[in-house]
């Protein structure tokens, strides 16, 4: 498991790093080793946040503060659990946190850290597989249900997601197709479009209408393939 700590209190940051290191040592026999990176500022944290399975955050000295950092990570597409560590800012007192979060109080208690990591490990075992997508700057892990369709755009592939994001995937559509093969919802239409069958809302004479109101043209035989898909 890859864990990121982002805390602008260096003593707290080092202390949590040590506690997680000890937790990792206790898990060596179960192959539950923890790989820990510690950051003192948000800019460093957000360079490659998608590699992490768990975040511990407490930023109190300068904005963005802890809650704002959590929101930023979610806006970047991070789906991993985020734990806000309460010190001078009581994050639990936010009337309506805009994103799903976990909380832990400082000073840290080893048994509480163990409980959080156990929960994350259990969730990982049950989690749906994701599709790895890369652009120039980031790697994204997309759930099958969030992927609407993809098509070539120059030397890249444009991928449209349910939340409105568009990712310019490095590589061609033909390179993306094998990545999608383990998933059951995708089909090739018109030789230029990969479409998630579950996002097709209507079949017209010459195109299909998708859940985001996009229209994808149909090629010869595509209508029959759609009608027979999954049967």
Number of folded domains that form the chain: 2
Which of residues 126, 161, 194 is at a domain's end? 126
Query: Does 145 lie in the same domain as 114?
Result: no
pTM attached to this predicted model = 0.61
What is the Rg, in whole angstroms, of the alpha carbon atoms belonging to the chain? 21
For residue 231, pLDDT over 60 is answered with no
Q: What integer is the mean pLDDT of 101-127? A: 89
105 forms beta bridges with 86
77 sits in the region (left: phi over 0; alpha: psi -120 to 50; else beta) called left
Q: Which range marks the domain in which residue 212 is found?
A: 130-228
Q: Distances from the Cα of 174 to the Cαs of 36, 52, 136, 151, 179, in angstroms?
A: 36, 29, 19, 10, 10
For residue 66, pLDDT over 70 is answered with yes
Query: Does 144 lie in the same domain as 119?
Result: no
Query: Does 117 lie in the same domain as 155?
Result: no
Which of residues 102, 126, 150 is at a domain's end? 126
Query: Does 111 lie in the same domain as 14?
Result: yes
Instruction: Quote the pLDDT of residue 227.
Output: 86
Place of tokens 């940051």: 13
Query: Does 98 lie in the same domain as 138?
Result: no
pLDDT band, residue 230 (cuts 50/70/90): low
- pLDDT tens, residue by residue, 176-216: 999 999 898 999 998 899 999 999 999 998 999 999 999 99
Crossing angle (nearest 10°) for helices 110-126 and 10-26: 60
Tokens of 136: 């120039």
Which of residues 93, 126, 159 is at a domain's end? 126
Query: Does 155 lie in the same domain as 42?
Result: no
Query: Does 158 lie in the same domain as 196?
Result: yes
Query: Does 143 lie in the same domain as 118?
Result: no
For residue 127, pLDDT over 80 is answered with no
| Higher-confidence position of 192 and 129 | 192
Q: What is the overall mean pLDDT for the chain?
A: 90
For residue 102, pLDDT over 60 is answered with yes
Query: Does 111 lie in the same domain as 18?
Result: yes
Q: What is the CATH number of the domain that holds 156?
A: 2.40.50.1020
Query: Does 146 lie in the same domain as 71?
Result: no
pLDDT band, residue 140 (cuts 50/70/90): confident
Instruction: Quote the pLDDT of residue 31.
Output: 66
Q: What is the CATH number of the domain that holds 45?
A: 3.40.50.2300
Query: Does 165 lie in the same domain as 88?
Result: no
Query: Does 111 lie in the same domain as 19?
Result: yes
Query: Under a CB-based contact definition with an 8 Å cutoff, are residues 205 and 217 in contact?
Result: no
């Amino acid at each position: 498991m890859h864990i990121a700590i982002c805390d602008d209190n260096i003593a707290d940051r080092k202390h949590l790093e040590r506690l997680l290191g000890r937790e990792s040592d206790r898990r060596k026999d179960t192959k539950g080793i923890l790989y820990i990176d510690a950051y003192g500022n948000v800019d460093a944290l957000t360079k490659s946040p998608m590699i992490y399975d768990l975040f511990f955050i407490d930023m109190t000295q300068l904005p963005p503060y802890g809650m704002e950092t959590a929101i930023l990570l979610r806006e970047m597409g991070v789906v991993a659990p985020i734990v806000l560590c309460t010190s001078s800012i009581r994050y639990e007192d936010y009337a309506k946190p805009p994103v799903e979060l976990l909380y832990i109080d400082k000073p840290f208690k080893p048994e509480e850290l163990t409980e959080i990591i156990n929960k994350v490990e259990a969730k990982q075992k049950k989690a749906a597989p994701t599709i790895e997508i890369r652009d120039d700057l980031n790697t994204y892990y997309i759930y099958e249900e969030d992927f609407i369709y993809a098509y070539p755009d120059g030397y890249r592939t444009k991928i449209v997601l349910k939340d409105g994001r568009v990712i310019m995937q490095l590589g061609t559509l033909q390179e993306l197709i094998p990545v999608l093969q383990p998933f059951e919802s995708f089909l090739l239409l018109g030789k230029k479009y990969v479409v998630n069958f579950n996002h097709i809302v209507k079949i017209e004479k010459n195109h299909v209408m998708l859940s985001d109101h996009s229209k994808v043209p149909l090629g010869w035989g595509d209508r029959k393939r759609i009608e027979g898909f999954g049967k």
